[in-house]
Structures are given as C-alpha cells and as structure tokens.
Amino acid sequence: MKRRKVSGFVRGCRRSVAGKMKREMSKVLRSIALDDNNRKELVQGEEDDYDCFPISFLRSDLLEPHLVVAPRYSLLREVGRGSYGVVYEAVARKTGARVAVKRLQCDAPEKVELALAEFWALTSLENRHQNVVQLEECVLQRNGLAQKMSHGNKKSKQYLRLVETSLKGERILGYSEEPCYLWFVMEFCDGGDLNQYILSRRPDPQTNRNFMRQLTSAVAFLHRNSIVHRDLKPDNILISQKSGFPILKVADFGLSKVCAGLTSRNGEEHPIAGAGARGSIQNSSVNINKFWLSSACGSDFYMAPEVWEGHYTAKADIFALGIIIWSKRELLGTYVRK
C-alpha cells in the first residue's frame, strides 16, 4: 500500500515537472518566433497606433533572468541594479552608438508610478540641455512585442492601462506568466556617478566651480520647464567623459513632478501640480515656486526641512543642490571622520 502511494506521488511529481518544462519551452519558442514577420499579432484595431520594432525576450525561471535578444540594441553588460530596475550598457546595432538601457518591471503600482514620472518628465522637455540626461526612446514590452511609447498617446490601450495601474493602485498589466517591462533608452555616461567621482579624487577648487556651474544650469533649466526633481543627490548625477573633461548629467527622474498651471478668473495663475503636457509647460511667465507639493519624498540627507513637513515648492531642489555643493567641497570629511 505504501509502495503504491509512493509510486503515485513520484508519477505526480514527474507530470508536474514535465508540464512546467513544457510550458516554459513553449514560452521560449513563442518568444523566439517573434520577429519582423509577426508584427501583425497586435490587438485588432490598434495596428495603426503601434510603432513597433521586434524584441524577443527569453524569459524563464530555467534560464538566465536577463537573457535578452534585441534586434535594435545589443546588451553588453549590467552596470547597475536597484530596487526598481536594472541598467545595462548597450550598443545600437545600426549606428554603433553606446546607450544606457534601463529596464523596469511593471509588476507593482509603485514601480509603474516611478516609471511614468520619469517618462513624463523627460518627454515633456522639448529642448535638450547638456547637463540633463537625454531620453532617446521608451519602449513598453509585453508578450515579446514592443511598443514605442509616446507622451499622451491616448489611443494606446497599453499606455492607458499603465496610467490606470498608477492611479488605482492595483495591477492592470503584467502577470507572473506574462511580465510587462518598460525599457528606457538613454545616452550612456561612462564616468560613473558624482558620488564615486568625489570620493575617488582630492578636492579641486577649479573642478568644484565648474561642477557648481553645471549643476545650477541644469536645475535652472528643469525649473524653467516646470520640472521639480525632488531627489537630487550625487548618486543621481552621472558623469560623461566623451568630450575629454567631465560633464555632469542630472538623471533618475522617478520622483520628479511636472507642474502645469491653470489660470483663474482674475487672470492670476492658480497653482496646481500634475502630469503636465508637452508645450503647456514652456510658458516663461509661470513661476514654479507657486506650485505647492505635499509628498514627502527624496533622500534623507538632501531633503529640505519643509519637505518633511509635506508643504514645499521647487526651492527644495535648491536646498539639495546646496548640500551637494557643500559635500563636494568638503569631500564629506565630517562624516568620514565620524
């Protein structure tokens, strides 16, 4: 009797493992089969709204979790990993240009909210600034198909579902069997971040002045475009060495807020913070310091006192900027000694 139970248990385990392997292999084969000829496998009625390029993702628990075959970009190596995503160094196959590719999995509303905040901030910029990281494109990938994201694309059901996920606080896209990712393709910065740069060199007055001018120029540019970063710190400032000397790049806009102004009846600006829209934030008469924010977010050491109180403006970025400049000049000596 015991032997029958044991043999039945073993057969059940074998069937379970075999079934799992079969499902995994079918997903891999389905992913490999997605190429230029399979672009028609989009949702019916949305073909004209999709700007697709083929990406095949070999996603399986039995394989390497980051094994990716990308026709447009070849991933070279992993350069960073955090709680919300992974950053790779990649190369564009057509041009050979090096880019940074950030992958964010949309498996939780808080991750979707951070991804959309960064997407809205970077796509709302009509002009480039040499000290702000440049977004080349953003791609939404699901089931092996990739859709190029565009700002305010109301015809895309996938984009609207992401927004719905962020607003409702519940998962709309992505399941354990069918993960959903947002891929940010940005310019690659080969000099690491400002924190690494500071701690690896002796303080230099000329470099400090140069960095201070670059940072203040970047923050002023963001504020002119009604963007409050809200998480300025050396770790979120990248360095590019392409020109032979260090160029700072403000990055990581996951906690940023794009502000949009409404006009009241008497003609005065009525401040309100929201997602914003391209073109509407380019009004030079808008005073970003009239927009009051309430979400206490950022990194403790660089947060202004009013941020902790939940009632602050874009001046909180100026406070963080001052702390960065001070820490860069002092080389964090006070905290190193402690």
The answer to whether residues 180 and 226 belong to one domain is no
For residues 206 and 317, state if they share a domain.
yes
| 120 assigned to some structural domain | no
Report the C-alpha gap between 325 and 293 in whole angstroms.
24
Does 176 reside within a domain? yes
Residues 176 and 45 in one domain: yes
Within-domain flag for 71: yes
**pLDDT value at 208 more than 80:** yes
**Mode of pairing for the β-strands spanning 135-142 and 257-263:** unpaired
Q: Choose one of 171, 187, 203: the last residue of a domain.
A: 187
Give the CATH number, domain containing residue 160.
Answer: 3.30.200.20
Contact 296, 319 (CB under 8 A): no
pLDDT score for 267: 40
Q: Do both 144 and 236 map to the same domain? A: no
Q: In this structure, are 33 and 169 located in the same domain?
A: yes
Token pair listed for 1: 């009797």
- List pLDDT tens digits, range 159-199: 777 777 677 666 655 555 567 888 999 999 988 899 888 88
Q: What is the pLDDT of residues 229-260, one digit of tens each?
A: 999 999 999 999 888 889 999 999 999 999 86
Same-domain status, 162 and 215: no
Backbone angles phi, psi at 95, to 5 degrees: -100, -20
234 backbone dihedrals φ, ψ, rounded to 5°: -55, -30
Q: What pLDDT, on the 0 to 100 scale, is given for residue 140?
A: 84
Task: Looking at the structure, tell me whether residues 71 and 168 fall in a common domain.
Answer: yes
Q: Are residues 167 and 224 in the same domain?
A: no
Annotated binding site: 102
Considering the domain boundaries, does residue 111 fall inside one? Answer: no
Domain boundary among 172, 187, 202: 187
Nearest to 178 by CA among 161, 164, 166: 161
Among candidate residues 324, 298, 293, the one with its CA nearest the CA of residue 311: 293
Contact indicator for 288, 271 with CB cutoff of 8 Å: no
Q: How many domains does the chain have?
A: 2
Q: How many of the other CB atoms lie within 10 Å of CB of 325?
A: 16
Residues 169 and 217 in one domain: no
Residue 2, classed as helix, strand or coil, is helix
Residues annotated in the binding site for ATP, as ranges?
A: 102
DSSP output for 99-126: EEEEEEE-SSHHHHHHHHHHHHHHHT--
Separate counts of helices (H) and strands (E) for the chain: 8, 13
Tell me if residue 235 is catalytic: no
Q: What is the mean pLDDT of the chain?
A: 73
Q: Is position 93 within any domain?
A: yes
* 200: its two tokens: 């690896």
In a domain, 13, yes or no: no
Q: Which domain holds residue 295?
A: 194-337
Q: Are residues 90 and 231 in the same domain?
A: no
pLDDT at residue number 148:
81
Instruction: Give the model confidence (pLDDT) of 76-98 as tens digits.
Output: 999 988 777 899 999 998 899 99
At residue 6, what are phi and psi to the nearest 5 degrees?
Answer: -65, -45
CB of 99 closer than 8 Å to CB of 136: yes
Question: Is residue 161 domain-shared with residue 263, that is, in the same domain?
Answer: no
Give residue 13's pLDDT: 59
Residues in the chain: 338
CA 330 – CA 334 distance, rounded (Å): 8
Same domain, 281 and 226: yes
Rounded to an integer, the average pLDDT of 280-303 is 79
> Is residue 116 a part of any domain in this protein?
no
The distance from CA 134 to its chain's CA centroid, rounded to whole angstroms, is 12
pLDDT over 60 at 142, yes or no = yes
Q: How far apart are CA 122 and CA 116, in angstroms?
A: 10
Question: For residue 263, what are the β-bridge partners?
Answer: 269
Burial class (CB in 10 A: 0-12, 13-18, 19+), 7: exposed
Q: Environment class of residue 14 by beta-carbon count within 10 Å: exposed (0-12), middle (13-18) or buried (19+)?
A: exposed
Express each pLDDT in 36-69 by its tens digit: 333 333 333 333 333 333 444 433 333 334 434 4
Does the residue 280 lie in any domain? yes
Neighbours of 309 (CB within 10 A): 10
Q: What's the pTM?
A: 0.70
The domain boundary, picked from 156, 187, 218, lies at 187
Bigger pLDDT: 103 vs 60: 103
| Weakest mean pLDDT among 4-13, 27-36, 114-123 | 27-36
pLDDT at 317 over 90: yes
Q: Residues 231, 235, 300, 317: which is the catalytic one?
A: 231
Task: Find where tokens 């190193």 sit.
Answer: 336
> Among residues 116, 110, 100, 184, which one has the least CA distance to residue 151?
116
Question: 192 Cβ partners below 8 Å, 6+ apart?
Answer: 238, 239
pLDDT-derived band at 323 (thresholds 50, 70, 90) equals very high
